[in-house]
Amino acid sequence: MLNQLKRFWKEEDGMGVVEIALIIIVLISLVVIFKDQITSIVKGLLEKVKANADSV
- DSSP per-residue letters across 23-34: HHHHHHHHHHHT
The predicted-structure confidence for 9-34, as pLDDT tens digits, reads as follows 677 666 677 788 899 999 999 999 99
DSSP secondary structure letter of residue 8: H
The predicted-structure confidence for 32-51, as pLDDT tens digits, reads as follows 999 999 999 999 999 999 98
**Residue 38 neighbours by CB distance under 10 Å:** 13
Task: Give this prediction's pTM.
Answer: 0.53
Sign of the dihedral through C-alpha 18, 22, 23, 27 = positive
DSSP secondary structure letter of residue 12: -
